[in-house]
Structure 1
Amino acid sequence: MLKWSELKRTSDIVLAVWPHYRPLHERWFMQELVDKDELPPVWRERMVPGENDTVRADHYPERETAIAAAQALNPVLSAAVSARTMDPVAKRSLELKIDKALQAKQRLLEEEVLMLREAQRRHADDARPDPSSLKLAPESERYRQDLAEQLAEMPYLKVAKVGRSNSRWTYALVFLGLDGAWSKPYHAGEKAALTAERAKIANGFDLSATAHWGKTKARIRQILLPRANQLLQMASVQRLLAEALARGDHVLVSNGIVFWYEPEGGIGWQVKSTSSTKDSEGATIWKEGTILSTNHGRLVVLPYIKENGEPIRGHTKNGPNDGRALPRHPDHYVEIPFSLYDGDLMIGLFGELPYE
């Protein structure tokens, strides 16, 4: 058995931590960002010492507990980086890489939480099947109650992870066929369990859980945009935007949605989406930066900082299939700061938004 005192990784420098969910284990496992000297830092599974010099994975049963643990440890790790004796330029570059890596993890988590809640909300009024009415392959009969409980929460599922045997969790996947019957069980490993987890989001938008996940989420963002536009009609959002305008804020960003104040032509507040360029993809957001809008594009590339420390101003643009964005007259170019709101803002607002 591997001992903690014999583990070579204990001498590695950990720069940050953040949890990720592993559906097969139904737990949140902490990952750590490790310094690789001249190479970019890398994420790996975090191990911690157990009893009697043993080694165990750092994991948590709940998302909130895992995030709280990460948020408690990250300031300590950040202070250690700040205290390191190294070239100032190299140190700043390392700090930017850490910020970039953490922001990417946090944005991913917030976005998928929003998408899951919205998927469930879209089907809140769907009929829930009676357990006895489910059509199952004979081999899946023992999973009837398990499947029924999941469909009671998410009636739109077309793939589900089920299973328990001899008081030990052993999982299988079952699939809903075109004939309305659920398939025989297929053994679930890490990849299959991840497919079932993604189905909780994708199936809620009538999308496949096995398609390219990045493309699937891009499609969901397109689906959500009209919903975001409806937010402008809510009294609570109008109050939020009025208060922002009184502070001089013309751009509010939360979870990929942008509330944009357009003074030209008396348009007022409108909704746009965040986007990226090849250089800005996954980069550290420059929170103090500004957005220079020379056109009326529907997408906003937020200000960002390159890994060499160079700050890049944000801009507006259209998508690849939108055609050229309507240009502004040079006299009407606007350069404005933006406010970045926690992803929970958009989750909460969508929760208040009723369907017609």
Structure 2
Amino acid sequence: MASEKLIHWKTAAERGLKPIRTLDLRVEPHRGSGLFFIQELVEYDNGKSGWRRRTGEGYWGNPFTYKFKTAVEAEAEISSIRFEAAVSEADAALRDEIGIDYFRRDNLKRLWEYTAREPGKLPTAGELVALFREQRATLADALDVIRAQGGEQQPRDYELMWGFKEGRRSVAELVAWWRERLDRQEAQRVSTELKERKAKERSERRAREDAFLRAQAAEKAAADGVVPPVREALSLVGHAASESVLERIAVELCEKPYLRHVLMYEGGYLRLYVSENRLAWKKWGQYETYERKRQIADRAVIADAFGLDPKDDWRKVRGALLKMLKPSNLDMLHQKDVQAALEKARAAGRTLVVIRQLAFLWDEEVGEWLLREVERCDGATASKCTLWAEGPIESTNYGRIIVLPYLREDGSKVVGHTRNAAYQGRAEPRAETKIIRFAVYDELGRDDTWDHYGNEIVSDDEIEGDV
């Protein structure tokens, strides 16, 4: 365009000319300021053209000029303007062809961003229109194929659109993508149901175990001849005696004479009173939460009967009590499904079998399976790593704990190994590294088959049908 045909922006402003469209854009450095502006070649309403700085209008209607600290920022803004212009032109063309769609502009933008063959390339309006038509026709054909195949769950066009944006550009690829998605959803549903079932089973098992431990606590106190102290022998330490508090403690001791932790409301506050000899009582946990106090009082119903502290790590306390009180004839080795899994693994040459949270190590010298302690890092215990089921276990020492191989969140592999617990010191080293082949069976029925009294919870038929 010849320079004599261009109109200066000041002249256009004096004549009151209005720009109706942008013809071209370029970056203009401002001398001495270090700033950059965008110059745009516009066509005015009188048919003439001219260069002017790109301006905008603020929230309150105040005009401003676009300013940038670097040329790169200005060029990026030009690319964005040109992209928006192409989208607008394509949307206008499709509006005449298909009709009004208030979301089409956003769809065109995302469609190009997901499917652009050359990263950073700006599309023309024609390319956007062609891409939209291709997507529309492919989705329609894929929907026809999927519906012809039948099935309870049929897709909507917007659902298939995500597959198209991910690069599934043919009908066959979209159909396969949809089937894969249904398979993932089904796998997720099954996984969720399994987790919920296992959580329910764990909750039921813990409830049975807690009821068992409470009953054992009461039986032990009765067997030991524990009787409640007389009311007159009770006293409060550290503050003035309160008859109401002592009366409440006496009532609790009449029901459970072995208690050394009593919870009560006093003056609108929840108080926990503790005693070493069940005679002299004092307040505990001035700065502890109410929930913590309730927790300790609930655990004390079990722990106090056995001379244990309910404020200690309850997992260790509870585990020790269950191990001590559980009859030996209820060992997992008596379960038929466990026996079958051990025999299957032994036939395959594996010497370590992990079933749920227990592990059995084959002892060649004595010719039997021995219960061992393992440490596993998978979805059941840690969300950031998964079991590396094909990995080896390389034992270089005689450590008590067998750490199963696993994958870290970053994908790196950790080989299985053996070690002692932190408080046991270093394990005695082996003369030669021992490779332990292992198998993991997480799918074996329920978490338990018998309760602590020997009552059967799940029949053999139910176990077999559940595998």
Question: TM-score if structure 1 supplies the norm length?
Answer: 0.48
Structure of greater Rg:
2
Structure with greater strand share of residues: 1
TM-score normalized by the length of structure 2: 0.38
